[in-house]
Structure 1
Amino acid sequence: MVGFVMMVGGMALGIRIGHDLDYIEHPVHAHVVIGLIVVCTIIVFQPIMGIIQHRHFKKRGGKSIFAYLHRWIGRGAIVLGMINSGLGFQLAKTNAVVPARWYIWSYVLLGVFVFIWCGLVLYDGFKIRGARESSTSLERDV
């Protein structure tokens, strides 16, 4: 919930700054468009798909197509958010002097988060594959 509130607050702040600096006027910058798409996707579609999957799981057990949609749309939103941070720095260059150390610090931090996130995604994928293979071998033994 804290992350959700921070995301909505960040979007509200971004809209306010974008309005003050005329980033929302024509031409609309890629950072603004991607940010609105990502945040609206996370606010609207992710909870709906999560609720539908939860109801399916309670009734039938197992995963439905909504579990996979929820997972992959979330992963896509995370990747777009990472890309959007770089676009935000490019946009900030046009109106403000940003010291080079902040660019470097941001990209180093982003690199660390990308490494951790990719590691977790791969770990999750291998864990699921390992569980499937062990259940298949148990079925063959019986």
Structure 2
Amino acid sequence: MSLLGQPAPDFTLPSTLGQPVTLSSYRGQKHVVLVFYPLDFSPVCSMQLPEYSGRQDDFADAGAVVLGVNRDSVYAHKAWAAEYGIEVPLLADMNLEVARQYGVALDERGISGRAVFLIDRGGVVRFEHVEAQTGEYTVRPEVVLAKIRELA
């Protein structure tokens, strides 16, 4: 199921910011890059999220915010973020409800797949990439930054 060109499913999730994050609160203000990933502390995720976090200024310059989403708790997120220096907000989708809305829940494994969705200021999905395997990480931050620049 592709969400390309569709309004992004709205959600509110607990976050490492200390208060819940609602996707639609960014509407009209910022592009949103949703990064779904399987597990905190896993090898590929521990490369991917710090890489996105390290490019936070580039995303901000492009008028975008990056949000990490997976099924781990806010407590696990905070510990992982502290250990790996991850500064982007991490959202706790503990029952995979949001992952299901975006078609990336791997219910049989109890995790979400690895996927990136770019949602424009109007709340429409403009780019999506779901990795074939959770161990793959092919859409690097520069790819998403290029897609954001194309929206301008």
> TM-score over 0.5 for the alignment?
no
- TM-score normalised by the chain length of structure 2: 0.27
- Which is helix-richer, 1 or 2? 1
By relative contact order (CA 8 Å, sep 6+), the higher-ranking structure is 2
- Which is strand-richer, 1 or 2? 2
- TM-score normalised by the chain length of structure 1: 0.28
